Structure 1
């Protein structure tokens, strides 16, 4: 009887360990690495991920035999208010195509094959990997059925500038977002033009005194 109880306890601890491991949150390493995780579903001859900053292109990933293409002057970004941008060049059936906006990116990604693609498609819906606050808005964990993404979202572009973080449950089989949990605001920023800036209100109060 004791041996049976001991075996049951060992199995229970193993199952608990597997459960804890499966729910360990992993931070997204960087937005470029997330984009390099794309696995196109359509038949692609080659594709190139480009990063443009200050008017200069940098090829972050080349898949297949690259052909000549025209450098682009605009593209998409997975984080708002950035001066740089990304774009993708790919060839399908011998024809050169360009991905320069989020809708085209969504079409290029197609069916979700991994957690990187799940995060990319969430970006199309206004979410973001916040590289400054990965602990709350730039990580994930997964189990056998779902990806669980902790992502940020701009919920106010006026005063104060506000970010809220959410947990998105993405079904691996269908790619559908089955649940969105609002975890609350994690940052509020005021600038000098904000009439409700607490610092300015304190200064004005002192002046009146």
Structure 2
């Protein structure tokens, strides 16, 4: 009986360990790694992922036979945008190269969510960002048997102040929707000198008005 109880307890601990491991948060390794591991909706291996930086094309993922392609002048980013670098995909599954250069086309190319990388890309096409500078807040995830849970950022204001908030998104496995969005607050709020609503400037401009000194009485005191 004691032996059976011991085995049952060990088995329960084992299952609990698996459950905890499944829900342990993991950080996204990086934008490049995410894009290299997406699963195209067409399930066709003939495509290339290109990273263009300072005018130079670098093939960072080649699935299938390499084809000749034309360098593209613009592309997409799923992290913080870099003016001098972007990604694009050359889809050669139909023989003639087709170019994926924006998030709308990327969303169609990926299709339904097949893995966590697909979920991340889908979230980005809905306006969120993978903020590699703040991985603990806006570039991590965990999962259970039914859903992926992604902690991502979002640029909520380009005006004054420049602001980013972080959210937890619930995305179902083998789906293409966001079931729930939980706002976790702001993690960046920046004012510049041109911001008229900069609280520091307002404090400087707001000066205490000088208090009026009590007027002296002109009446002379009478002597008795």
When the two structures are superposed, what TM-score results if normalisation uses the length of structure 1? Answer: 0.90
Moved more, 1-10 or 66-75: 1-10
Moved more, 76-85 or 117-126: 76-85
- CA distance change for structure 1 residues 10 and 208 in 2, over 3 Å: closer, same or farther? farther
Q: Structure 1: where are the runs of 5+ without partners?
A: none
Q: Structure 2: where are the runs of 5+ without partners?
A: 211-224
Q: Which has the larger radius of gyration?
A: 2
The Cα shift of 1:7 comes to 4.5
Work out the CA distance in 1 between the residues paired with 2:208 and 2:195: 18
**Root-mean-square deviation over aligned CA pairs:** 2.1
The Cα shift of 1:29 comes to 0.7
Q: Deviations over 1:117-176 (max 9, x none)?
A: 100011011001111111011000111111111111111111111111111111113233
8 A Cα contact 1:39 1:109, kept in partner: yes
State the SS of the aligned residue for 2:132: coil
Relative to total residues, which structure has the larger strand share, 1 or 2? 1
8 A Cα contact 2:114 2:174, kept in partner: no
Work out the CA distance in 1 between the residues paired with 2:81 and 2:174: 33
Work out the CA distance in 2 between the residues paired with 1:169 and 1:80: 22
8 A Cα contact 2:122 2:176, kept in partner: no
Aligned counterpart, 2:53? 53
* 1:91 partnered with 2:92: yes
- CA distance change for structure 1 residues 32 and 204 in 2, over 3 Å: closer, same or farther? same
The Cα shift of 1:207 comes to 11
Work out the CA distance in 1 between the residues paired with 2:81 and 2:63: 29
Work out the CA distance in 1 between the residues paired with 2:63 and 2:143: 27
* 1:112 partnered with 2:113: yes
Work out the CA distance in 2 between the residues paired with 1:141 and 1:128: 17
**Which of structure 1's runs of 4+ aligned residues deviate more than 4 A?**
1-8, 205-209
8 A Cα contact 1:162 1:188, kept in partner: yes
When the two structures are superposed, what TM-score results if normalisation uses the length of structure 2? Answer: 0.85
- Within 5 Å, which residues of 2 pair with 1:20-31? 20-31=20-31
The Cα shift of 1:9 comes to 3.6
Work out the CA distance in 2 between the residues paired with 1:206 and 1:149: 46
Work out the CA distance in 2 between the residues paired with 1:59 and 1:8: 52
Aligned counterpart, 2:40? 40
Work out the CA distance in 1 between the residues paired with 2:122 and 2:81: 19
